Copies of this chain bind each other. A is one copy, B any other.
């Protein structure tokens, strides 16, 4: 029964994500991860040399997933405004549908001590956003502001929207909140 290769690795990653978001990186012993994942302690360290490597791997995966989700259907949009809007919708949708992953990423971003390599590597995936902002500025659709600031503001605003949206009671209310949030961002950016 040693067939389903990598099955255990997946189980570990999945369990780790849940536990980390529930209890934090430091509140989650590796022993608990392996127990909940149904594998031996040694198995975790067979797939990930250290706890930190496990966290990093998780981060890279999720960051990739998020980046992919944000770009979904992006090529169908023509104007900068539409593209930014689509990105916003995608981002908020992904974050709302994957609250654990969102929480994980925020925890990661704000934790000292965890590998900065992964942090920087993750950022590189969002360079296209900066380019989009630049394009908007040159076309006169977007205000003439610092592109890095614009990216930073978009990211943090989405965070803010998601935080509020997650306390919404009805789906309708949540939709409403999300719509208002995206308007805020666009009104803040447009020329």
Contacts and interface: CB of A to CB of B under 8 A. Distances in A.
Contacts of A133: none
Question: What's the number of copies of this chain in the assembled complex?
Answer: 4
A148 B160 contact: no
Interface stretch (A9-17, A70-78, A176-184): A176-184
Contacts of A177: 146, 149
Interface in A43-92: none
Contacts of A21: 112
A22 interface: yes
A156 interface: yes
A180 B110 contact: no
State the main secondary structure of chain A at its contact with B. Answer: helix
A32 interface: no
A104 B188 CA distance: 28
Interface in A149-180: 149, 152-153, 155-157, 159-161, 163-164, 167, 176-177, 180
A111 interface: yes
Interface residues of A, number: 41
Contact of A153 (B109, B149, B184, B190): B184
Given A24-B112, A157-B157, 14 more contacts: A21-B112, A23-B112, A24-B111, A24-B113, A26-B26, A111-B111, A146-B176, A148-B167, A149-B161, A149-B184, A153-B157, A153-B164, A155-B160, A187-B190
Interface of A: 21-27, 106-107, 109-113, 143, 145-146, 148-149, 152-153, 155-157, 159-161, 163-164, 167, 176-177, 180-181, 183-185, 187-190
Q: Nearest 10 A-B pairs (CB), nearest first?
A: A156-B160, A188-B188, A24-B112, A184-B188, A26-B26, A110-B110, A27-B113, A145-B180, A152-B160, A156-B156
